[in-house]
Amino acid sequence: MTSLRFFAAFGILALHYRDMFGLLPEWLSRALISGEYGVTFFFVLSGFILTYNYLHWFRNSVDETRVWSFFRLCLARNDPMYVVGMLLDAPWHLIERARVGELANSGPEFWASWLLNLCGLQAWVPATPYAMMFNTPSWSLSAKFFFYATFPFAVRAIVRYLRSPRAVINALIATIVGRCLR
């Protein structure tokens, strides 16, 4: 798994810095753009690891005590560094916005964006000043926080309604067909 994570992370990194490489052959340019699938890979891997580690917690019921324990464990894993990053990043944004004279015009938006980002909700407000004012790639953590919030209920529903391999395969086929028909 670690080697696959390396390639996914490298693909994402190359995608974000692709413009610095100059003019590239078409096949290489397409390969760099496909680095966006690394984020999807990380989401799928996270879902697999969560299911592997916590399925037994929610297999039979969604107990309030276990749900809160699960939330605390997930937040303890991600939130401290995320919050530290926000606290370290905010002064630089304040300085830069003040330097170019934008702070007077965007003060309320700045603080609303900062609070949304601090709470991990920026991916759910699809407006540029709110979602993209701070650490732009943190949208993926915002989505991950949503996955954490829904995981106990989703895994319980999956266990309850997809009891056989055939039901799982039918659900996957329906998902793929539904995705292709969009």
pLDDT of 104-120, one tens digit each? 666 677 788 888 888 88
For residue 113, give the H/E element and its range: helix 103-118
Looking at residue 70, what is its pLDDT? Answer: 92
Tokens standing for 132?
């993209």
Residue 84 burial class via C-beta count within 10 angstroms: exposed 0-12, middle 13-18, buried 19 and up: exposed
- Residue 139 reports pLDDT greater than 90: no
**pTM (global) more than 0.85:** no
pLDDT of 60-116, one tens digit each? 888 889 999 999 998 888 888 888 888 888 888 788 878 887 766 666 777 888 888
As a whole number of angstroms, the distance between CA 95 and CA 89 comes to: 10
* Cβ atoms of residues 144 and 49 within 8 Å: no
**Type of residue at 170:** N
pLDDT of 24-43, one tens digit each? 888 888 777 777 888 888 88
